[in-house]
Amino acid sequence: MSFVVPVGPQHPALEEPEHFRFTVEGEEIVDVDFRLGYMHRGIEKAFEEKSFPRALYLAERICGICSGIHSIACVEAVEELAGVEAPRRARFLRTVLAELERVHSHLLWAGIAAHEIGFMTLFHLTWRDREHVLDVLEMLTGNRVNYAANKIGGVRFDVEPKHLGKISNVLDDLEEDALRYMDVFTSDRTITARCEGEGVLSKGEALRLATVGPTARASGVDEDMRRDDPFAAYGEIDVDVKTAEGGDVLANAEVRLSEILESINILRNAVEQLPEGPLSVDAPKKIPEGQATNRVEAPRGELLYHFKSDGGEKPSRGKVRTPTMANIPAIIEKLKGETIAEIPIVVASIDPCFCCTERVQIVDKNTGKTQTLTKKELREMREE
């Protein structure tokens, strides 16, 4: 007999609620349906009501975790429209910002993954280390999130000689920690038992569904906008793209943890090669008529911004495609054939901006009887 298990839409702890409906036969998931839009804030429409500099601050508020990369993607699209190019030093500083953000975002993911499988010690350790990255970001830009670090034509922060000591100390510590987590994730029996072979996405499916970012790379798809379509200063810095073969949750962890190590390398190179020069150039207030499309590699994957200007001070159209949107078909594919107990970790494995397992309802399709489960009960079911 098949049941429909609705999951979501509200979870008070994590952003971006979403609603899933799992059709299950016994424990096995045979079909998945979903509903988006609970967090649709009309930002694309709001772009049309804001001047270009203010659109930048709005873009930054799309995501609380990767706010810096949204602002970089937005500012580079607007710069292309305006026909200005940020100075070389500004582009290197944007790279520093993007990589610091990638490190803290991946550490956050590692923590959430550990939390979903009940490994609370690891959750606390990764989030403790994430704080050190946030400290560096606060030192450089004045904010832990929503850095307001970019402006049209350049950046609004600088890496000064007095910052270098702290940055280098944090990077050294982080490298050590990331190697340790890599070791834990690949050797700990609790983790391998829960993550190995779960939520598998084959390379063919990943390509067919246009999956992006670490989710695609964990399935062996060799794509990374930092190398393939360089933005900021990535054209001048080597990026070693990390891939894994398994396509399961463990491969996702491996890719993200090795990306932390690669980001540390990029950060060291960027800070070392930081060129002298101005931080910004003047940009016109009125943006010439035209359109610009820009893609960047956000921590979760390819992020696209498209802006149109009709020659005024406001965009006539602003379009954003976030990586989670592109990865939703992949979640569906990953969940088919899994069990209810694996829902939290498999959904978390693509690092979505939501996880909504706080309230689960089990509906008996034949009688229409509804039973509500809490997250705690769901966890207990998993342990049985």
Partner 1 sequence: MNSEEVIDVIQDYIDDEEILSEKKVIATTDRERYRDALQTLWDKGIQHITTITATDFGEETEIIYHISCDGTLLDLVVSVPNEDLEISTITDIYPAAILYERELMDLFGIDVLDHPDPRTLVLPDDWPEYKYPLKKGQYDYQAIAEAENVSDVKEIAEDDDFDPELMLEAEKENKDRKSLIEWLETRIGKEEGD
| Residues at the contact surface with partner 1, assessed by CB under 8 A | 36-37, 40, 42, 44-45, 49, 207-210, 223, 228-229, 293, 295, 302, 304, 306, 308, 316-317, 319, 321, 325-326, 328-329
193 versus 210: smaller Cβ distance to partner 1: 210
Return d(Cα 214, Cα 242) in angstroms, integer.
9
CB distance 113 to 350 below 8 Å: no
The long-range contacts involving 162-166, CB below 8 angstroms and separated by at least 24 positions, are: 163/139, 164/271, 166/136, 166/139
CB of 238 to partner 1, least distance (A): 16
Return d(Cα 135, Cα 321) in angstroms, integer.
29
CB distance 10 to 372 below 8 Å: no
CB of 299 to partner 1, least distance (A): 17
23 versus 143: smaller Cβ distance to partner 1: 23
List all residues 6 or more positions away from 176 whose beta carbon is below 8 Å from its beta carbon: none
Q: In the structure encoding, which two tokens stand for residue 185, read together?
A: 């994730």
Cβ density class 57-75: b for 16+ within 10 Å, e for less: bbbbebbebbbbbbbbbbb
120 versus 210: smaller Cβ distance to partner 1: 210
- Quick one: which of 301, 280, 299 has its CA closest to 93? 280
7 versus 250: smaller Cβ distance to partner 1: 7
235 versus 278: smaller Cβ distance to partner 1: 235
CB of 48 to partner 1, least distance (A): 9
CB of 230 to partner 1, least distance (A): 8
Return d(Cα 80, Cα 82) in angstroms, integer.
6
CB distance 263 to 239 below 8 Å: no
40 versus 376: smaller Cβ distance to partner 1: 40
200 versus 304: smaller Cβ distance to partner 1: 304
Q: Is 199 helix (H, G, I), strand (E, B) or coil?
A: coil
39 versus 120: smaller Cβ distance to partner 1: 39
Q: What are the φ and ψ backbone dihedral angles of 187, each rounded to 5 degrees?
A: -115, -20
Cα separations in angstroms, 284 against 59, 206, 265, 312? 20, 42, 36, 11
Instruction: Give CA 8 to chain center in angstroms.
Output: 21
Q: In the structure encoding, which two tokens stand for residue 295, read together?
A: 């893609």
CB of 276 to partner 1, least distance (A): 27
Q: Burial level of 282, CB count in 10 A (0-12/13-18/19+)? A: exposed
172 versus 222: smaller Cβ distance to partner 1: 222
356 versus 373: smaller Cβ distance to partner 1: 356
CB of 218 to partner 1, least distance (A): 16
CB distance 303 to 297 below 8 Å: yes
Question: Rg for the chain (alpha carbons), in Å?
Answer: 21
CB of 334 to partner 1, least distance (A): 15
CB of 240 to partner 1, least distance (A): 16
CB of 314 to partner 1, least distance (A): 13
CB of 137 to partner 1, least distance (A): 28
